[in-house]
């Protein structure tokens, strides 16, 4: 039995919108089928905004973005039972995430998914907001639905600008 199974890892997620209103998604090295938006843990003492900007640089390899909005609430998800013992050494049963909508003001050449020695993604693309939920791993579908719902008015406003 996992000791702290009821714990959720604090994390940030990033919905990065380009000028055309499409969202950055990456295909993780451990998946051949599923795409996801950047996300990652919050370091001790780190502010949420700092964590989001750090994760953007680490996973997308760019700092050419500005924060437009933040999700109203924490969004929680549970890992599948079989994954819990091997993910984060069994310390967490899932994640609680604060999501940030960011506007990308760079060009595609400003993205470098191999920015760090340990890249998260093996490939990336821009995807429509409407396609996000269909292409994410099943246990994160509700998270993506919630994020799109919580940020919908800010997404629309960012696309119009």
The string of pLDDT tens digits covering residues 13-36 is: 999 999 999 999 999 988 888 999
What six digits make up the tokens of 127? 């995807």
**What is the reported pLDDT for 86?**
86
Asked whether residue 2 carries a pLDDT value surpassing 50, the answer given is no
Residue 8 has pLDDT above 80, yes or no: yes
Cα–Cα distance measured from residue 82 to residue 85, given in angstroms and rounded to the nearest whole number: 7
* 1 in a structural domain: no
Average pLDDT value for residue range 29-48: 93
Name every residue whose Cβ is closer than 8 Å to that of residue 27 and which is 6 or more positions away in sequence.
34, 35, 121, 122, 123, 124
> Is 62 part of a structural domain of the chain?
yes
Question: Which residue range(s) make up the domain with 34?
Answer: 8-160
**Any idea what the CATH number is for the domain that residue 105 is in?**
3.90.79.10
Q: 59 in a domain, yes or no?
A: yes
Confidence of residue 161 (pLDDT cuts 50, 70, 90): low
Q: Which helix (H) or strand (E) holds 145?
A: helix 141-160
What percentage of the chain carries pLDDT values higher than 90? 78
Mean pLDDT for 27-53 is 94
pLDDT tens for residues 112-147?
999 999 999 999 999 999 999 999 999 999 999 999
The arithmetic mean of pLDDT across residues 2-21, rounded, is 85
The yes-or-no verdict on residue 43 having pLDDT over 50 is yes
The pLDDT of 52-62, averaged and rounded, is 98
- In-domain check, residue 2: no
If pLDDT is split at 50, 70 and 90, which confidence band does 103 have?
Answer: very high
Q: Radius of gyration of the chain from Cα atoms?
A: 15
- Cα angle for residues 7, 27, 119 (degrees, 5° grid): 75
Q: Give the mean pLDDT of the chain.
A: 92
For the chain, how many structural domains are there in total? 1
Distance CA 7, CA 21 (A): 35
């Amino acid at each position: 039995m996992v000791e702290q199974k009821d714990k959720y890892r604090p994390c940030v997620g990033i919905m990065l919108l380009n000028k055309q209103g499409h969202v950055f998604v990456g295909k993780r090295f451990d998946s051949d089928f599923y795409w996801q938006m950047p996300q990652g843990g919050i370091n001790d003492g780190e502010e949420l905004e700092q964590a989001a900007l750090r994760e953007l640089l680490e996973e997308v390899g760019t700092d050419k973005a500005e924060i437009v909005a933040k999700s109203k609430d924490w969004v929680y998800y549970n890992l599948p039972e079989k994954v819990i013992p091997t993910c984060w050494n069994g310390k967490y049963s899932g994640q609680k995430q604060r999501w940030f909508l960011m506007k990308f003001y760079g060009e595609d050449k400003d993205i470098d998914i191999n920015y760090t020695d340990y890249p998260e993604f093996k490939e990336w693309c821009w995807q429509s907001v409407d396609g996000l939920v269909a292409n994410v791993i099943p246990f994160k579908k509700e998270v993506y639905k919630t994020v799109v719902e919580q940020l919908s008015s800010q997404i629309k406003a960012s696309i119009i600008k």
